[in-house]
């Protein structure tokens, strides 16, 4: 018998326009009625999975940032956080900033990008996204996630740091390449195992 279903968002639960189909909504309702637990697992930050969990009537914690952050949103409590160690994060972020690369950092449940970065798409900007003059303004703690956007930025950071002991997760949003950098210890599967333990 199935006890738990873990659903990724992009390319699984969500359609290409970011919505949830009627068929998926019905399948979730049927699973919940059958006593099956559902957890959302994503590479995104907390905002969208919390909204979707509430919308769908889910009450399990969410796994975000490619498994680097697990959050019990009903109690507003962090259950697991595996940030990128500062010894790696600082040089990567400084390199990106000094070389005009397009990147964001996820710190304390908000995304930050540099003012004037034209690579970011309008659809990724929301209240949880904020611009800064320099990343040193917000890098007071190890970031949960560092994300580079566009071929040039992704190629440059991977060429410079790709052999470091971190996860470099390559993603493609339609034709738009991204690279999400997380701790080597972070992963969706690992976070799900910890949650179910």
Model pLDDT for residues 151-188, shown as the tens digit of each residue: 999 999 999 999 999 999 998 877 789 999 999 999 99
pLDDT at residue 123 is higher than 80: no
The pTM for the full model equals 0.91
Instruction: Encode pLDDT of 98-118 as tens digits.
Output: 999 999 999 988 899 998 887
Do 103 and 145 fall into the same domain? yes
| pLDDT average, residue stretch 28-38 | 96
Give yes or no for a contact between 187 and 66, defined as CB atoms under 8 angstroms apart.
Answer: yes
Q: Please report, rounded to a whole number, the percentage of residues in the chain having pLDDT higher than 70.
A: 95
Do 9 and 61 fall into the same domain? yes
Do 60 and 21 fall into the same domain? yes
CA distance 55 to 184: 32
> Domain of 157: which CATH number?
3.30.1240.10
Do 144 and 75 fall into the same domain? no
Q: What is residue 122's predicted lDDT score, i.e. its pLDDT?
A: 57
| pLDDT average, residue stretch 9-26 | 89
Torsion of CA 40, 46, 47, 51, to 10 degrees: 30
What's the domain range around 49? 4-81+187-196
Counted domains in the chain: 2
pLDDT band at 34 (very low <50, low <70, confident <90, very high): very high
> Domain of 22: which CATH number?
3.40.50.1000
Q: What is residue 173's predicted lDDT score, i.e. its pLDDT?
A: 75
Q: What is residue 124's predicted lDDT score, i.e. its pLDDT?
A: 56
* Helix runs in the chain, H state only: 22-33, 47-56, 86-98, 151-161, 188-196
What b/e string do you get for 153-169 counting C-beta neighbours within 10 Å, with b at 16 or more?
bbebbeeebeeeebbbb
pLDDT band at 125 (very low <50, low <70, confident <90, very high): low
pLDDT band at 18 (very low <50, low <70, confident <90, very high): confident
What is the pairing mode between strands 129-132 and 110-114?
parallel
pLDDT band at 1 (very low <50, low <70, confident <90, very high): confident
pLDDT band at 197 (very low <50, low <70, confident <90, very high): confident
Q: What is residue 24's predicted lDDT score, i.e. its pLDDT?
A: 94
């Amino acid at each position: 018998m199935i006890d738990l279903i873990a659903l990724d968002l992009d390319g699984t639960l969500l359609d290409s326009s970011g919505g949830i189909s009627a068929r998926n909504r019905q399948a979730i309702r049927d699973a919940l009625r059958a006593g099956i637990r559902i957890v959302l697992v994503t590479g995104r930050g907390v905002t969208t999975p919390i909204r979707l969990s509430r919308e769908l009537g889910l009450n399990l914690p969410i796994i975000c940032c490619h498994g680097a952050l697990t959050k019990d949103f009903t109690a507003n409590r962090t259950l697991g956080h595996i940030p990128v160690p500062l010894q790696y994060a600082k040089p990567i972020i400084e390199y990106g900033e000094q070389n005009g690369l397009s990147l964001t950092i996820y710190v304390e449940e908000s995304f930050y990008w540099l003012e004037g970065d034209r690579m970011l798409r309008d659809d990724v900007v929301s209240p949880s996204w904020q611009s800064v003059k320099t990343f040193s303004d917000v890098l007071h703690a190890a970031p949960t996630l560092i994300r580079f956007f566009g071929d040039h930025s992704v190629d440059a950071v991977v060429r410079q740091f790709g052999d470091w002991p971190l996860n470099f997760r390559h993603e493609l949003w339609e034709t738009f390449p991204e690279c999400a950098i997380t701790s080597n210890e972070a992963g969706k599967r690992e976070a799900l195992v910890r949650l179910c333990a």
